[in-house]
Amino acid sequence: MAKKQEFVKEITSREENFSQWYTDVILKTQMVDYGPVKGTMVIRPYGYRIWELIQQQLDARFKECGVQNAYFPLLIPESLLKKEAEHVEGFAPEVAWVTKGGHEELAEPLVVRPTSETIFCDMFSKWVQSYRDLPMKLNQWCNVMRWEKSTRPFLRTSEFLWQEGHTIHSTQEEALEMTMQMIGVYGKFAEEVLAMPVIIGQKSDKERFAGAVATYSMEAMMQDGQALQAGTSHNLGQHFAKVFDIKFLGKDGVQEYVHQTSWGVSTRLIGGLIMTHSDDRGLVLPPRVAPIQAVVLPIAMHKEGVIEGAEKIVESLKAAGIRTEFDTRDQSAGWKFNEWEMKGVPVRIEVGPRDLEAGQVTIMRRDTLEKSVLPIEGLAEAIVDLLDDVQEGLLCKARGYRDERIFEANDLDELREAVEDKHGFASTMWCGSRECEDLIKEKTGATSRVMPFEQKCHGDKCVCCGKPATVNMLFARSY
Amino acid sequence: MAKKQEFVKEITSREENFSQWYTDVILKTQMVDYGPVKGTMVIRPYGYRIWELIQQQLDARFKECGVQNAYFPLLIPESLLKKEAEHVEGFAPEVAWVTKGGHEELAEPLVVRPTSETIFCDMFSKWVQSYRDLPMKLNQWCNVMRWEKSTRPFLRTSEFLWQEGHTIHSTQEEALEMTMQMIGVYGKFAEEVLAMPVIIGQKSDKERFAGAVATYSMEAMMQDGQALQAGTSHNLGQHFAKVFDIKFLGKDGVQEYVHQTSWGVSTRLIGGLIMTHSDDRGLVLPPRVAPIQAVVLPIAMHKEGVIEGAEKIVESLKAAGIRTEFDTRDQSAGWKFNEWEMKGVPVRIEVGPRDLEAGQVTIMRRDTLEKSVLPIEGLAEAIVDLLDDVQEGLLCKARGYRDERIFEANDLDELREAVEDKHGFASTMWCGSRECEDLIKEKTGATSRVMPFEQKCHGDKCVCCGKPATVNMLFARSY
């Protein structure tokens, strides 16, 4: 017991070392562990349950958009990957190659998918004949692999889990609409389910997906002021359609190329929600993705009627659809308090003999650490409401935190100050040139994040070169 | 239209060529397609939806057994795979090797997991300290790869989707109990959800999993009389624990090795359910895994009130939780009948103007092709009941079919006759020797399937050598 309590206290504070704090939190809560191959992670049950809850809720939203799930092969022939020039250039440096099957060398090397545009295109070209076959809106939940040099669990690993949507349409307008719809779905999901506020906008040409016409992204601010690209939606235009020959017979009897989109979010979202909400005691989980939403702790368990009384409460919570844990382990209350706080369970419910006598329980909410007393009668309904409050409170707090850390920057000095001294985002006017974008990176370490859909105007001069600016761009250091 | 109707008629009959019939059914219903790499498959939405329904219902049953989901890395270092001698010998000939990451050769080659015992063991050895950490019951839903020479979609492909459960326990008894519990879960699932009757028993030493102490399997009979191994559960004993050093401190303060199990089912189940129920018109799907359980076809759609009347029916079915499709496409009723029969939708509901006037609809159930008339009032409840009937009817029919084709065989001739002439399983007495098992394979093409838990006795002599028999063994040709 002593050992374990110490364990909890071993979490480094965010102030002292944010990066170490993150590592402590994810390892000590047993969300994840390092795999035997460098750069890989094992997602343990407590982390994986969060992914399952993300999947369920996001998948339902996809299905509402008419998207159907499918599964495409892991291995892609080199020749397919190479078809779209910009795409292969972007991905070739970071793919893993299968060169041997059983005891034989393969005639053609295969890549472990880093993303699946090419193999979807290959099949689309077989499946589509006429406008009647369109739109085709597919998605897959799968693993992908990118051979990264520098890795961190959830944020950047050589293998990760994600979903990738791939759709084809008969018109440019429809493809653009789909691209926008999906980044919108992601944004709403991030805010409503993960309680993670995001800024949505378009990426610069430098930062867009290899092979896309335009990439849209949602960017979140972590508690260290760095940006996390949390989801992207690409308008692929007809780039892939032309090299993969995905044609359809239009209503007018003319052969045309399809217009395409792709979009994805990954287990990176888990890293994002941790770095958005958690604190020096450990995880703080938004109720909608918390594996355990409420933990019931019987106090003085050995006293007559306590276990039975607490059990009744557990049953009523479960019946109300609350993911409830009943902790009857033989440990001290103090030890359990620490454990469940570290694990970020949104609500703790203490049930002692005196509580039961008085027909009440003691509640602690994890986000504010506030305690209160609630009557047992109608408790389940009260907890449902409380969980909604916690969910809303987390979003509100994170939004306030972020909004305070977006600074208008009118020159390079102010930009550097915003990201380096003030640990935030710089909202700038930008001329749109690659030269300025590169120079900003060199001088400040910040990269362009997005041109927000909600454009702000801070004048008419580029933050870097002083020439006429065309757009409001957010710059930040990023994960 | 003409083209499509022909399409439907192109399904080869089972009588004529069972194997071609299977291929026709899965391709023409768009369940699956061939991937660009030989031996791979693309699971299309209609096939994948079945897998999702299997996953949901099986996963809930796992969770009831206290199993938690996790995710382990795809790539396994060669050195890990090699630790357990029998295991590597079994799998090495059929693994895919990653030898290059980005532009660099890897120092140690990595295998794409053919199964994950070794990597689970590697992590278990880090995670387990004392008996308090046990049992640990993990499962993952993932892709695996086996470099097969001869492949068929769903039945045997170089990549497939599956779940693999891995558990560790403090006692031998508990591990054995878990092994049995899981093969039991599989068997109940196969019968209750897939309506696929199975025979459960133990595998011969020759057929057991590489590295296991004992393998238990469920075997189903396809309509051509061949056996399909549809799920396995392995008692791994302490084989892996010893080579991976998975030790725990017992209650008595002594270090001991854990006792281990693993168990899995795969997308092969989809192939199994097709070959169990489907017919010359195409798919016949058990309602519990049918992507669409009822299709509503408005007849004479252009007539006033038909669409509206049919729509109300659709809404009431959906409200009752029935997966319902409303087919208002501009095609003839005959074309739609063919299409939905081919796709195996359990219940077709025709709604015409005269039906609506009379307050009734015309129903056809796919399994028996019987038509009937039902009142619109209370229709949803009636369809729920009908779907239950279909589900039960399919299991009953398949069980009858199978039971008629299990033949007692007392010598090699009778065994050959059972599998070759009568297209069934041979129930035999067997001495247990590898020599007889090999000779039977050579002479009859049949392999040992299982020693059923429900042992039959047909005498005391081995079907092959005539020496004293120790056990009742099923032999059959198999997928």
Going by pLDDT thresholds of 50, 70 and 90, the confidence category of residue A6 is very low
- The distance of B43 to chain A (nearest Cα, Å) reads 5
Q: Do A45 and B51 count as a contact with CB atoms less than 8 A apart?
A: no
- The distance of B425 to chain A (nearest Cα, Å) reads 33
Helices (H), A283-432: 306-319, 333-342, 353-358, 379-403, 412-416
pLDDT for the residue A374: 98
Query: What does the pLDDT look like over A394-405, one tens digit per residue?
Result: 999 999 999 999
Q: How far apart are CA A413 and CA A409, in angstroms?
A: 8
Structural contact between residues B325 and B345, judged by C-beta atoms closer than 8 angstroms: yes
Nearest Cα residue in chain B from A77? B37
Instruction: Quote the percentage of chain B above a pLDDT of 70.
Output: 98
Cβ contacts (< 8 Å) between B98 and chain A: which residues? 96-99, 112
Q: Do B77 and A36 count as a contact with CB atoms less than 8 A apart?
A: yes
pLDDT for the residue A87: 85
Structural contact between residues B179 and B59, judged by C-beta atoms closer than 8 angstroms: no
pLDDT for the residue B10: 84
Q: Give the one of A68, A122, A147 whose C-beta lies nearest to B45's C-beta.
A: A68
pLDDT for the residue B430: 98
ipTM score assigned to the predicted complex: 0.96
Cβ contacts (< 8 Å) between A41 and chain B: which residues? 73
Nearest Cα residue in chain B from A121? B36
- The distance of B163 to chain A (nearest Cα, Å) reads 14
- The distance of A176 to chain B (nearest Cα, Å) reads 23
- Assigned token pair, A139: 């998605």
Query: What does the pLDDT look like over B88-126, one tens digit per residue?
Result: 888 888 999 999 998 899 999 999 999 999 999 999 999
Q: Do A98 and B112 count as a contact with CB atoms less than 8 A apart?
A: yes
Q: How far apart are CA A248 and CA B122, in angstroms?
A: 51
Q: Do B102 and A80 count as a contact with CB atoms less than 8 A apart?
A: no
pLDDT of A244 over the 70 cut: yes
Query: What does the pLDDT look like over A290-313, one tens digit per residue?
Result: 999 999 999 999 999 999 999 999
Query: What does the pLDDT look like over A354-395, one tens digit per residue?
Result: 999 999 999 999 999 999 999 999 999 999 999 999 999 999
- The distance of B400 to chain A (nearest Cα, Å) reads 34
pLDDT for the residue B69: 98
- The distance of A413 to chain B (nearest Cα, Å) reads 37
Using CA atoms, how far residue A132 sits from A199, A251, B12, B49, B213, in Å, is 36, 9, 27, 22, 55
Nearest Cα residue in chain B from A37? B77
pTM of the model: 0.96
Closest alpha carbon to B171 in B108, B244, B237, B110: B237
Contacting residues for A239 by C-beta, under 8 A, at least 6 apart: A84, A86, A211, A212, A213, A260
Cβ contacts (< 8 Å) between B73 and chain A: which residues? 35-37, 40-42, 159
Q: How far apart are CA B288 and CA B192, in angstroms?
A: 9
Q: Do B80 and A51 count as a contact with CB atoms less than 8 A apart?
A: no
Going by pLDDT thresholds of 50, 70 and 90, the confidence category of residue B84 is confident
Q: Do A71 and B94 count as a contact with CB atoms less than 8 A apart?
A: no
Task: Label the pairing between strands A471-476 and A447-448.
Answer: antiparallel
Cβ contacts (< 8 Å) between B166 and chain A: which residues? none
- The distance of A35 to chain B (nearest Cα, Å) reads 7
pLDDT of B217 over the 60 cut: yes
- The distance of B417 to chain A (nearest Cα, Å) reads 36
Average pLDDT over residues B437-446: 97
Q: Give the one of A75, A76, A100 whose C-beta lies nearest to B99's C-beta.
A: A100
Q: Do A44 and B70 count as a contact with CB atoms less than 8 A apart?
A: yes
- Assigned token pair, A407: 């600074």
Give the helix/strand (H/E) hosting B413. helix B412-416
Average pLDDT over residues B53-77: 98
Structural contact between residues B238 and B257, judged by C-beta atoms closer than 8 angstroms: yes
Q: Do A48 and B37 count as a contact with CB atoms less than 8 A apart?
A: no
- The distance of B30 to chain A (nearest Cα, Å) reads 10
pLDDT of A1 over the 80 cut: no
Cβ contacts (< 8 Å) between A42 and chain B: which residues? 70-73, 123
Query: What does the pLDDT look like over A114-169, one tens digit per residue?
Result: 999 999 999 999 999 999 999 999 999 999 999 988 999 999 999 999 999 999 99
Q: How far apart are CA B463 and CA B473, in angstroms?
A: 10
Q: Do A48 and B35 count as a contact with CB atoms less than 8 A apart?
A: no
Nearest Cα residue in chain A from B35? A73
Structural contact between residues B186 and B54, judged by C-beta atoms closer than 8 angstroms: no
All domains of chain A in start order, with CATH: 2-277 (3.30.930.10), 294-386 (3.40.50.800), 406-476 (3.30.110.30)
Nearest Cα residue in chain A from B137? A45
Structural contact between residues B129 and B10, judged by C-beta atoms closer than 8 angstroms: no
Q: Do A123 and B68 count as a contact with CB atoms less than 8 A apart?
A: no
- The distance of A73 to chain B (nearest Cα, Å) reads 6
- Express the helix, strand and coil content of chain A in percent, nearest 5 each: 40, 30, 35
- The distance of A443 to chain B (nearest Cα, Å) reads 29
Query: What does the pLDDT look like over B7-37, one tens digit per residue?
Result: 445 899 999 999 999 999 999 999 999 999 9
pLDDT for the residue B9: 59
Going by pLDDT thresholds of 50, 70 and 90, the confidence category of residue A9 is low
Q: Which of B29, B30, B32, B37 to mutate to test the interface with A (most CBs of A within 10 A)?
A: B37
Torsion A162-A165-A166-A172 (CA) sign? negative
Query: What does the pLDDT look like over A46-75, one tens digit per residue?
Result: 999 999 999 999 999 999 999 999 999 999
Using CA atoms, how far residue B144 sits from A73, A435, B77, B94, B267, in Å, is 11, 45, 15, 11, 11
Cβ contacts (< 8 Å) between A53 and chain B: which residues? none
- Assigned token pair, B477: 């040709």
- Assigned token pair, A109: 């090397």
Cβ contacts (< 8 Å) between A52 and chain B: which residues? 69
Q: How far apart are CA A392 and CA A395, in angstroms?
A: 5
Q: Give the one of A76, A95, A161 whose C-beta lies nearest to B71's C-beta.
A: A161
pLDDT for the residue A4: 41
pLDDT for the residue A149: 86
Query: What does the pLDDT look like over A324-349, one tens digit per residue?
Result: 999 999 999 999 999 999 999 999 99
Residue ranges with strand state E in A198-344: 199-202, 214-221, 227-237, 247-249, 255-257, 259-266, 294-298, 324-326
Q: Do B126 and A96 count as a contact with CB atoms less than 8 A apart?
A: no
Average pLDDT over residues A233-238: 98
Nearest Cα residue in chain B from A92? B102
Average pLDDT over residues A219-246: 97
Q: Which of B97, B161, B339 to mutate to test the interface with A (most CBs of A within 10 A)?
A: B97
Average pLDDT over residues B80-86: 90
Give the helix/strand (H/E) hosting A57. helix A45-64
pLDDT for the residue B3: 41
Per-residue DSSP letter, B321? T
Cβ contacts (< 8 Å) between A37 and chain B: which residues? 73, 75-77, 110
Dump the DSSP string for B152-206: BTTTB-SEEEEEEEEEEESSHHHHHHHHHHHHHHHHHHHHHTS----EEEEPPTT
Q: What are phi and psi of A474, to 5 degrees?
A: -90, 130
Cβ contacts (< 8 Å) between B69 and chain A: which residues? 45, 48-49, 52
Mean pLDDT estimate for chain A: 96
Nearest Cα residue in chain B from A93? B102
Cβ contacts (< 8 Å) between A109 and chain B: which residues? 100
- Assigned token pair, A383: 């907890």
Q: Do B41 and A73 count as a contact with CB atoms less than 8 A apart?
A: yes
Instruction: Quote the percentage of chain A above a pLDDT of 90.
Output: 94
Q: Give the one of A42, A75, A95 whose C-beta lies nearest to B73's C-beta.
A: A42
Q: Do A93 and B103 count as a contact with CB atoms less than 8 A apart?
A: yes
Q: Do A41 and B73 count as a contact with CB atoms less than 8 A apart?
A: yes
pLDDT for the residue A99: 96
- The distance of B159 to chain A (nearest Cα, Å) reads 7
Query: What does the pLDDT look like over B392-440, one tens digit per residue?
Result: 999 999 999 999 999 999 999 999 999 999 999 999 999 999 999 999 9
Mean pLDDT estimate for chain B: 96
A to B CB pairs, distance under 8 Å: 152
Torsion B125-B128-B131-B137 (CA) sign? negative
Cβ contacts (< 8 Å) between B37 and chain A: which residues? 73, 75-77, 110
